[in-house]
Structures are given as C-alpha cells and as structure tokens.
Amino acid sequence: FEYTDFFSRSVKVHQADTLDFNFQGFHILGIAKSEAFAKSQQPLATPDKDDPPSVASGKPKISLNPVVFFFGSGCGWTAPCDYTGGNDLKISGQPQGSDWNVTINAGPGTYTYFCYIHPGMRGTVKVVEADESTTSQVQNDAVSQQQFLKEKAQAERAEKAADVVRYSGGEPGDRTYFVKVGISAADNHVAIDEVFPNGVKDPSKQLNLVAGDRVAYSWPDGHNVHSVTFPPDAVPPFGFDCNAGFTPAPPGPPPCAETGEPPELIADPGNAPSGTELTAPATVVDSGDRLGKDFNLPTTIRWAVTTGDGTAPGSYHYNCNIHDWMRGTLNVVAGSDSGGDRAHT
C-alpha cells in the first residue's frame, strides 16, 4: 500500500512557523496559493506534440518537466524554503532526504500543499493571526493516526475484493482474462500497487494460457502510473526522446538531444500496440507508462497481449517498470488445459 496522503490534511500555523514534511515513500511536493496555479506555472508533464505518438498507446508521448521532476526550487533539504504567498511557488523536486522544510512567511490566509505525482493528494495550511491558536503536534498526530487506520481498513477491503481471477469466453483458446494493474482506495488516498489477480502472493491465481487466449490489462487507478513490461525490468521507466526514438536515461549527462532542441525527458512510451502476440519469454513486449485519468494527459488505460501459434510455451514474467515489485506471470502451456475453474464474468 502506498499512502498517497498527507497526515494530516490541514494545519493552522502562525507566520514564520515551519512545516516539516516527512517523506514516507516517493512524492514530489509543491506549496502555492492553489494547486491549479502551481500546475499552470510548472506542470509535471505535457504531451509531446512535436514527435510521432507512442506506438503502444497511439497517444502523444509524455514529456516530463525537469524543474518539477528533478530540480525543484533548490531549497528545503539543507535549509528551509521561504514561502511568501502570492504568486510564490515552492517545489521539492525528487526527494533528497527524508524531510523537506518550508517556512511559511505568507500573510494570514489559506494555502495549498500537494503532491505532483499523486493527483488528489493535497492539504491546506492556514496562517492565522498571532493571537489565534495553531495546530499542535499532539493534535496533528492524533488526527493522523485515526486517518491512517481508516484508510488502511478501506484499502484491505479493496485489495481482497480485487484479487479474483476473471475471464470471458468459453473453452481454453477462446478466453480473455482480465488483469488490473494497480487499484486505489479511500478516495485515492491509498494506491494499492499490485497486479490483480495476484499470482505472486497466491500461485493458484497465476494465469495458465493456451494458444488463442488473450489477456486484457486495465489501469483503474486514476492517480498513479504503471507499466506492463515483459520481461521484468527490460525497459527503464524514463529516458530521452532522441531523433532515433526512446533512449534509456543513463547516469550522467543526457546522451542526446533532438536536432535544434534541448534534451527532452520522456516517460517510457512502450514498444508494442495492444493485441501484440507474445512469442518468447525473453522478447520485450512493453505497454509503456500508462498514466491514470486524473493526470489529465493523453493516455489509454487498456492494453492487451495475445497468444497464438507463434507463442512458445513457457512462463512469461512481467512487472511494472516504475513499481518494480508489481509482478505477474502468464504461463503458456501446450494443449487445451488452461488450468482450472475460474470466476466467469
């Protein structure tokens, strides 16, 4: 479970007080007069309309903003950021430690803190007059504990409900199995980063296929990003859009730039359109990074692989190249036995 939330979602402070954001997971934080204002000034990503679309999704590739994704405002890690309100915007960039500190030097009013990479993860800081009371750490901790327990219970129920093998069609060789790539719970405050059905936790829920079977993947979590990449870790989640196409991002300087343009960081666009036939376990078949609908960027949240006469028997392992512990296996077997009774939908 990824708790895509602030604990807690609202605090009251005096001017010159400091907020200490303690990171428990991967987040990129911003603080501004509103989330909409912040994203209008520095969006996380934009559609790449200058180059051909992704062959996997048919949609524009996704260009990532290095100011947000890497550099941030350059403060908060070794010395606090100074947030002054108005049109000021402070961004953490990628975490450089466990705590990001922002001193609130804005006048009385309400301001927004949020996570760039988990839509819906937001809270408010209210600056009150000097004679008004503020949120104590004890109060914040008590609210946070109740908030956490409620979210955990909701996520556990959602996880159990999702972990069911489902298919349509009749006989082996004519079936479509349905796989969910991550789900959310608690009003998008928990991202459940698993593949459902989860054949890793329960091997009896691995999918056993014969030639002609199909696996339809969907991305129901609107506030997260996942891929389906055969074999696991075959393609990194981010790279550069070079003239020759997607180039994985290595350590060090960018390896290329498009002619007349600065280096362009993009999300993995994938290499396989929906309906690609699996051929061998070591052959790369990649959906690319699929963004949830809440990012408001061009994407598709459905993709499929098929099996046929050209599919060699074997175990086809895959994972999400962003959350590499999210793993699944398709077992392609010879003959007509696809492995037991399943819930039919």
pLDDT at 245: 73
Measured CA distances, 113 to 63, 73, 85, 102, 277 (Å)? 24, 14, 12, 11, 45
Is 257 strand, coil or helix? coil
Q: Give the residues of the chain that fall short of pLDDT 50.
A: 339-345
322 vs 330: CA distance, rounded Å: 20
pLDDT at 123: 98
122 vs 30: CA distance, rounded Å: 9
pLDDT at 257: 59
Per cent of the chain over pLDDT 90 is 82
pLDDT at 49: 84
274 vs 284: CA distance, rounded Å: 14
pLDDT at 240: 86
Angle at 238 between CA 121 and CA 116, to 5 degrees: 15
pLDDT at 252: 62
pLDDT at 248: 75
What's the pTM? 0.91
Contact 90, 30 (CB under 8 A): yes
pLDDT at 255: 66
**Strand pairing of 238-242 and 302-306?**
unpaired
C-alpha of 289 from chain center:
9
pLDDT at 342: 46
pLDDT at 343: 42
pLDDT at 263: 72
